[in-house]
Structure 1
Amino acid sequence: MKKILKTMSLGIMILSVSSMFLFAQGSSEAKKMTLKLGFSSPESNPWYICAEQMAEEVYEKTDGNITIELFPSEILGSDKQMAEMVKMNTLDMQIAPQGVVANYEPKLAALELPFLFDSNEAVAKLLDGPMGEELAKDLPAKGIRILAYWENGLRQTTNNVRAITTPSDFEGMKIRTPDNKMTISIFEALGANPAPLAYSELYMALSQGVFDGQENPVVNIHASKLNEVQKYLSFTNHKYEGKPFIISEETWKKLSPEYQTILSDAAKKYAVINRQMFADQDKELRADLEAKGMKLNSPDLTPFREATASVYDEWKATLGEDLINRVVNAAQGN
């Protein structure tokens, strides 16, 4: 009898240990996730380079339990479509234009007011401080969470008509813009005829003469070889564009607190690296565009600021005078 009980006890112990092993194995497998990250830029852009490095770091720090798949060049759709996919939880993450995210949180449009920032240092101080947190805090309730503010840089203007030296040079010029209300407001104030078009269609539209010009940061102009279809590059610095690194709130909730921290910290770390890459590349890319035949000029921006002052008044109804004043003060380091 004792022998039987002993055998039964041993069997129960083996069964228990086996169950624990299988449960642990099942738990480990359950933790594995593949997160899809979409964005509009090609593989030569700093976003892709930083996103690739970030994916490797997250994979290592989660012991291979989180894999991030990259989908560049609007493979999954336009920026606007991808942001809606993130909101609906059919896409996990996006490096999104702040103007697109502003469709869900209008306060973010304050970052795009014309000639708001004088330096990259001022941008970083604002976005990584209390103001950046305030602008993002209500988004999770709308299905989107900002993990960090990546960068697209100051936007410049190219065209095939003339060098831009004064606001009057924009008169009647058809300018391609992203689907962004602030950008359209700025170019309307400058006297141009702005119209939105997906970035993936830009090169073809310019080559066919559908638009006279367009506006983008230097890194995008260079990466997309717009020098092949545009003659003049004018450094108008008319608008700063951040790239919020966003995640679906539903995806965020599926992550353990440990993995949330790993992902959030990595997004912030590579936001800093991303900004520095843009700054380091800018001078080199300008020189290369000039060597390839583009005519470059840096106009006096004072009359441009004066011409777009009405944009601040126009957006007071949407953003509120108090928010605009606080963002302006924060941008100036006050």
Structure 2
Amino acid sequence: MSLRLSRRAVFGAAAATLVSPAILRAAEPLKIRCSLDTAPSHPRNQTIVDYFEKLAKASNGGIVGEVFHSGQLFADLNVSKALLQGQVEMAAPGAWTLTGLVPDCDMVQLPYFYGQSSETTHKATDGKPGQYVNQQLMGKLHTQVLGPWIDLGYQNWYSTKTALNHLSDLKGLKIRSPGGAGISWRIKFVGGIANTTAWPNVPLALSQGTFDALVSTDESCNSAKLWEAGVKYSYADHQFMGQYIPMIGNATWAKLGADNQKMMTDLWAQNIGGYRSNAAASQANGRKVMESNGVKFTDPSADELAAARKAMLGDVDALIKDAKLSPEIVKLVKEAIG
């Protein structure tokens, strides 16, 4: 009797040993790496970090996210390819960096948005124009767009040696563009010469005089401390609202299953309003810090903005051609924002 019991005990222990690795593997959390090329203090980074914390809690630790900051994995200009090839599970690149794949990502470069409120942009990107862009991205990059886009903030002009009191002061300057034909068109429109430099390399390139000015936001300049690289002036014309598009690779999305997919998209939708408010507050603080470090800001009047917008609309056909915007996206934008 005791011999039979001991044999059963031994067999049971052996069976448990054989089964336990499978049980452990089933219990392992799904890991999602997200590549960002901005600093940890940047509002986009803070948004994804906060979302991952909420996601871990909502999934009871079943989904664990890890953010790679400051271009540790990929610069935004290269991350879409990495996402497509499965080298990273998640990314949230700026819409302007995706125009080589989906030109309609440049829709906010249309002059209708120049000098306008963030609400005007949200009408388009949260509405049918944004949905149209999302479908194109999901098809070409084999990704799932998580939900409404992350606000970065208003894009403005910043310079080192040349005071920016009027739009005409940009004429002849070498100006760094974040990317996209639409921004290049606007730089050309003001008489500048476009330069494309990956964001992590901007401070060094700026200090070395590779370019004289750049298109960016107050908080981006603040997080990179660009006054230390020579930035002294800004023309705050709010030329467009920059946004990031949160995307997860299809292979990872499929592993989640329908319930987790819904949980993730619902969680994103519940928090995006707060993330956008945080971004706006961050931009306001960024300007305050820059001013305290000697950067001089010029805020154009409503009349100046309207005059510039009218002039840009006079050249809108050239923008549509250069940016390869589809007739459909132009139509959808006009309908969305009136």
TM range (shorter): 0.7 to 0.9
What is residue 316 of structure 1 aligned with on the other side?
320
Give the residue type in structure 2 aligned to 1:320: S
What is residue 242 of structure 2 aligned with on the other side?
241
Give the residue type in structure 2 aligned to 1:132: G
What is residue 94 of structure 1 aligned with on the other side?
91
- The 8 Å contact of residues 151 and 243 in structure 1, kept in 2 or not, is answered as yes
| Matched residue SS, 1:139 | helix
- The 8 Å contact of residues 113 and 311 in structure 1, kept in 2 or not, is answered as no
What is residue 262 of structure 2 aligned with on the other side?
261
1:267-306 map, 5 Å: 267-299=268-300, 300-306=304-310
Q: 1:140 aligns with which of 138, 141, 147?
A: 138
Partners of 1:57 and 1:282 in 2: CA distance: 24
Q: 2:332 aligns with which of 321, 326, 332?
A: 326
Give the residue type in structure 1 aligned to 2:53: E
1:187-226 map, 5 Å: 187-226=187-226
Deviates more, 1:117-126 or 1:144-153: 117-126
Q: 2:101 aligns with which of 95, 100, 104?
A: 104
Q: Show structure 1 runs of 5+ residues with no match.
A: 1-6
1:178 to partner: Cα distance: 1.7
Partners of 2:75 and 2:49 in 1: CA distance: 20
What is residue 125 of structure 2 aligned with on the other side?
127
1:164 to partner: Cα distance: 2.6
Instruction: Show CA shifts across 1:175-226 (max 9, x none).
Output: 1112322111110111001110011111111111221111111110111111
Partners of 1:51 and 1:23 in 2: CA distance: 32
Partners of 1:316 and 1:182 in 2: CA distance: 8
1:40-189 map, 5 Å: 40-114=37-111, 116=113, 118-142=116-140, 143-148=142-147, 149-189=149-189
CA shift in 2, pair 1:311/1:261, >3 Å: farther
- The 8 Å contact of residues 189 and 307 in structure 1, kept in 2 or not, is answered as no
- The 8 Å contact of residues 116 and 328 in structure 1, kept in 2 or not, is answered as no
Q: Provide TM-score, normalisation by structure 2.
A: 0.85
1:122 to partner: Cα distance: 2.4
Instruction: Show CA shifts across 1:115-158 (max 9, x none).
Output: 51621222233322333222212332221221121111110111
1:232 to partner: Cα distance: 0.6
1:87 to partner: Cα distance: 1.4
Q: Provide TM-score, normalisation by structure 1.
A: 0.86
Give the residue type in structure 1 aligned to 2:144: R
> Is 1:38 the counterpart of 2:35 in the alignment?
yes
| Matched residue SS, 1:138 | helix
Partners of 2:279 and 2:193 in 1: CA distance: 29
Partners of 2:128 and 2:179 in 1: CA distance: 28
Instruction: Show CA shifts across 1:276-316 (max 9, x none).
Output: 11222333332322121111111222343244335521243
Percent of residue pairs bearing the same amino acid type: 21
Count the aligned residue pairs: 321
CA shift in 2, pair 1:122/1:257, >3 Å: same
Instruction: Show CA shifts across 1:226-260 (max 9, x none).
Output: 12211111102112211000111222122111111
Give the residue type in structure 2 aligned to 1:176: R
- The 8 Å contact of residues 153 and 217 in structure 2, kept in 1 or not, is answered as yes
1:27 to partner: Cα distance: 6.8
Partners of 2:136 and 2:29 in 1: CA distance: 29
Partners of 2:327 and 2:128 in 1: CA distance: 19
1:18 to partner: Cα distance: 7.2
Partners of 1:307 and 1:170 in 2: CA distance: 16
Instruction: Show CA shifts across 1:40-74 (max 9, x none).
Output: 21011111222111111111121212110101111
Instruction: Show CA shifts across 1:15-40 (max 9, x none).
Output: 9x979x869835733x6211110112
